[in-house]
Structure 1
Amino acid sequence: MRQNARTTITGDTVVLVPYEQHHVEKYHSWMKSEELQKLTASEPLSLQEEYRMQESWRQDNDKCTFIVLDKSDYNAFNGIKGQIEAMAGDVNLFLSEEDGFKSAEIEIMIAEPKCRGKGMGKEALLAMLRYGIDELNLILITAKIGFDNEASLKLFTKLGFSEISRSEVFKEVTLSLPISDEMRKKIQQLTDHLLIVQA
């Protein structure tokens, strides 16, 4: 999505930056993992396919993605090298054209094992919710999570998502978060510390 191409979101534990070509090789190495393929319901891609995918994330109006950086690692380096060294995962929104891009499906992946269990997933998820609500004017956000992904199910339900359906075929739960005025205020309160910069 061109809209977030110059956006950086900084929190306490993470920094979110747009997905650029210099991130692709490390991202591609992550997605060779069978565990991550299963958790994200993804098929392995060739490196060239991954580069084309990154380009579509940049250009398409219905996709918004940020690379999640470990803030402590990022602060230890400079520039592009710092971003690559600090890469922890990604967070995405798939917007629905059917309702004029007012709803989206959200995904979060903390790929680096050393970055898990530190609250980075929660902060990255909250940052993307705030961005989706304030900048993209979303009124409904959904998520699809595998039956056995207990950590993600717990995280999403704690933030207010509720189950709306189950698929025995795909072994996943669909969760929904309608953005009421009350929910908007809650997300804003939880993300008041974020610094959102448009370069």
Structure 2
Amino acid sequence: MDNQENDHLPLVFDDIIFLKEDDIDFHLTSGENKVPDIPEESDDSITEESSSVESTEPETQESVESMASSEEIVVEAEQTSPEIPEADSPALYEGGNKKAVSIYASQLSDPEKAFLIKVISAVNLNMEDIALTTEIDSLFMIEPQEVVISFGSEELLQGPFAGQNLYEVDDVGDVKSLLCDKLETVAANKELKMKLWQGLKEIFN
């Protein structure tokens, strides 16, 4: 009878099941459940872990000090304001400004500059005598300044020289001014050249 009940086992399990001797003892020991022993951690392993934690503390402190140093450099750089060029700095203009003659040109190509040099040569001036700039803001920062000649004067006519007529010499405080069209326009027009010449003679004669 028992054999007949077990005849179906090969149909359920393809592999033969073997129980090791240790497994038999574990399962068949009467009333006792054996729990596998868990090895206790030794004091040496605890000491090694604590020492590894302590060893990271100096590195962390060095990182904090490095970050603090970097922040100080950034703050110092932000507090350092860029230097503003002096009024007579060569960065404001081209030329030597020995005769305190400021010339503004709204645009200045090589041919226009060559024409300008011919114009100032007619009244015995050269690049060492003038301060030449293409920046309207720089024009008002040039010192000393006794004469202002402008080629391309739309912005000036809306500012300190408002109401002044082109090619007519005017006084703005202690500064004599002569406002003209752009160098390109003057160079291509004989009548405007004559008007410019008359203005220059009035200033420098």
Same fold, TM-score > 0.5, yes or no: no
State the TM-score bracket (shorter-chain normalisation): under 0.3
Relative to the length of structure 2, the TM-score reads 0.27
Flag the structure with higher strand content: 1
Between structures 1 and 2, the one with greater helix share: 2
RCO higher in 1 or 2 (8 Å CA, sep ≥ 6)?
1
